[in-house]
Structure 1
């Protein structure tokens, strides 16, 4: 399935759960025919339960619903949570569910990391926000800063067709050899209200998202802002960032300063010397954990999606981003990022970089060789083909059936 740029779309930026969840729940509430939902994380918390209630109500009024969640990201949903949906006709899928080994999850590679919702084929949501309370600011200091987009228009048909295909029975090979690479679509006549769905899989679209980032950096003329939660990209992308900065483009990178996982900052810091000395401005977001996967270039190009710029997202996970050509959307996203940079970030100064030494040089050499060859290595991790597992509708408990019969008998007595 290869998609092209679509004109005539309406695109709305959504920041954090406070903006995202009400829009999604409203779309579900208005749906009359179909609902498609993919997510990495669905928790049994206040947000997950609110989503559950909306899906259950939609199913009861006859909406055809298909849900797919990741077996690693959503491993602990109670049976009642799922069975109450399947009892009403919801098709509920787990992507690559695998039993734990010695209490540890084994399906850590090749995760379904996309976050997509489509209602009635007329409105869609794409981004990085999972269905969990940690995406609401009210969650506290560990709440995540994140983004999604709401779209209407021709691009929704492409998103819906893509999700339906992914929920089908054909599964992709997990090996790196023998696949035909896909050349990402280019926009010959950039304008406004244009959108393109791009994704990463383990078949023909293995580096589409990375290719769009690199093409963006090559074509940048004025400035680029990249905000990415888990930043540890391939060598090629790092090189394009440095090249853009060295030809006079202002390249700004926003990474986590207060990470949800300490290893995230350790990995990113190993790249600071290369980037800062190459002219790239590195800023650490310090208000709370950053979960964004977004970027803007010059006055028109932008992207919002699920893909981090790290080995998992670029070489293993199933991801989806929207690439957007629209001046007004670019302005809105840029203004948001400028606010973050001014209010909640601290810039990494050259004087703060780790001192140069043989130890630092050795670390850099190891890191860059790892980044350069990781995609080939990743093709072997693991060698199994991930599966989809559909949850069957449960048989109604005998006690409920007996109670219903008793009630019915009581109602017909004189």
Structure 2
């Protein structure tokens, strides 16, 4: 069940598309019973086509497959791409499909931002990597730096149960969906977890964010870990503009002597990302937090660690969209070996590809900094409540093939924050 520590897991860190795609495609190729896949972005490029081929081959062997994409993040899939999957028996679902208004997509908020794969109930993947070629180094200077985790062991049952529940809830009528959500809140852990053998020594849990019962779970686990840190915190996050309480915990940790290091975007895929994060630099640097801007290419990762055991990998950024609007999923891990592997990776990133930001690098007048800090402080305190006023629809899935018949799935590929 979500939010509970599950022992006996093995977790493997996967870096970028080079580490992630081969493992996922290999597992789909070996699937014998079922593949469950959720993603924010699926593009019809070389990566999307390779996934497409792997799913078709699995379906031809009789594997049951459910693929869920987000209606905002994946608007450009062609009828041929979808129909070949559905004719092979693959069930393709679109989260919150909405028509355009004057050429603009209207489903701007409450996106399904998760990236999850479960194969045969035995192996799962969770992280921040979408199915698009910009997660591969050969894409060029705009290729993204990102992470996912491969999971073996009893936690896979919890992840499988979660994805199944989302499929069931999303396809029901609104009244039934609400009843199912309330029922799922108190559902006991699935006994299938007990049938999965221990694969390693890691304790882990699946933590999700939704707009009903788990609105701040991921942020809360971050704050608990930061509050309990004693000697180090490293956070690498693509879109960084957290709420006031998380920011306060980072400052408190640095002031009590914890080595707090943030890896943020120096070459962002969207300029507003760097502008927003830089508004916090004076506030953080003044408390002793160290800030490093990743300059090699756009940073897309959503990972963190504290001390020697705790770490997390997932889809959740530390910004208003992920913390207050999107549907997200992170795995939280207690394991010294995994923590050290992630720490080694991030420290290497700092040494080879980052530039440290110092207070002297920010040539701004004291008056402007004070005035700006006042407004940012009040924004950070109130934005979770303000965002809560935005429409919070129940999860809604639609079969992809029916949307083409209705003209509801757009064929325009625009930039997305992912």
What TM-score results when the alignment is normalised by the length of structure 2? 0.88
Q: Does 1:268 align with 2:277?
A: yes
Q: Runs of 4 or more off by more than 6 Å in structure 1?
A: 171-175
Could you tell me which residue of structure 2 aligns to residue 46 of structure 1? 46
Tell me the secondary structure at the aligned position of residue 347 of structure 1.
strand
Q: Does 1:306 align with 2:327?
A: no
Q: 1:89·1:393 contact (CA, 8 Å) conserved in 2?
A: no
Q: Distance in 1 between matches of 2:230 and 2:389?
A: 38
Could you tell me which residue of structure 1 aligns to residue 93 of structure 2? 93
Could you tell me which residue of structure 2 aligns to residue 188 of structure 1? none
* More displaced 10-residue stretch of structure 1: 111-120 or 360-369: 360-369
Tell me the secondary structure at the aligned position of residue 8 of structure 1.
strand
The one of 372, 378, 388 equivalent to 2:387 is: 378
In the TM superposition, 1:11-410 aligns within 5 A as 11-170=11-170, 192-392=201-401
Q: Distance in 2 between matches of 1:9 and 1:384?
A: 35
Q: 1:281·1:347 contact (CA, 8 Å) conserved in 2?
A: yes
Q: 2:67·2:92 contact (CA, 8 Å) conserved in 1?
A: yes
Tell me the secondary structure at the aligned position of residue 36 of structure 2.
strand
Unaligned runs of 5+ in 1: 184-190, 396-414
Could you tell me which residue of structure 1 aligns to residue 194 of structure 2? none
Q: What is the deviation of 1:368?
A: 1.9
Unaligned runs of 5+ in 2: 187-199, 405-418
Q: 1:99·1:106 contact (CA, 8 Å) conserved in 2?
A: yes
Distance 1:352 1:204, change over 3 A: same
Tell me the secondary structure at the aligned position of residue 114 of structure 2.
coil
Q: What RMSD, in angstroms, separates the aligned Cα atoms of the two structures? A: 2.2
CA displacement 1:92-121 (0-9 Å, x = unmatched): 100001111111111110000000000000
CA displacement 1:294-332 (0-9 Å, x = unmatched): 001111111000000000000000000000011111111
Q: 1:34·1:65 contact (CA, 8 Å) conserved in 2?
A: yes
Q: Distance in 2 between matches of 1:74 and 1:91?
A: 16
Q: Distance in 1 between matches of 2:218 and 2:380?
A: 17
Distance 1:393 1:384, change over 3 A: closer
Q: What is the deviation of 1:60?
A: 1.0
Q: Distance in 1 between matches of 2:201 and 2:293?
A: 31
Q: What is the deviation of 1:358?
A: 3.2
Q: What is the deviation of 1:393?
A: 7.8
Tell me the secondary structure at the aligned position of residue 38 of structure 1.
strand
Tell me the secondary structure at the aligned position of residue 159 of structure 2.
helix
Q: 1:86·1:393 contact (CA, 8 Å) conserved in 2?
A: no
Q: What is the deviation of 1:275?
A: 0.2
Q: 1:273·1:354 contact (CA, 8 Å) conserved in 2?
A: no
How many residues end up aligned between the 2 structures? 384
Q: 2:261·2:290 contact (CA, 8 Å) conserved in 1?
A: yes
Q: Distance in 2 between matches of 1:309 and 1:49?
A: 31
Q: Distance in 1 between matches of 2:403 and 2:386?
A: 42
Q: What is the deviation of 1:394?
A: 11
Distance 1:6 1:125, change over 3 A: same
Q: What is the deviation of 1:363?
A: 2.0
Tell me the secondary structure at the aligned position of residue 169 of structure 1.
helix
Q: 1:230·1:309 contact (CA, 8 Å) conserved in 2?
A: yes
Q: 2:314·2:329 contact (CA, 8 Å) conserved in 1?
A: yes
Q: Distance in 1 between matches of 2:333 and 2:403?
A: 43
Q: Distance in 2 between matches of 1:234 and 1:163?
A: 28
Tell me the secondary structure at the aligned position of residue 308 of structure 1.
coil
Q: 1:235·1:371 contact (CA, 8 Å) conserved in 2?
A: yes
CA displacement 1:161-190 (0-9 Å, x = unmatched): 001111113579999xxx99x99xxxxxxx
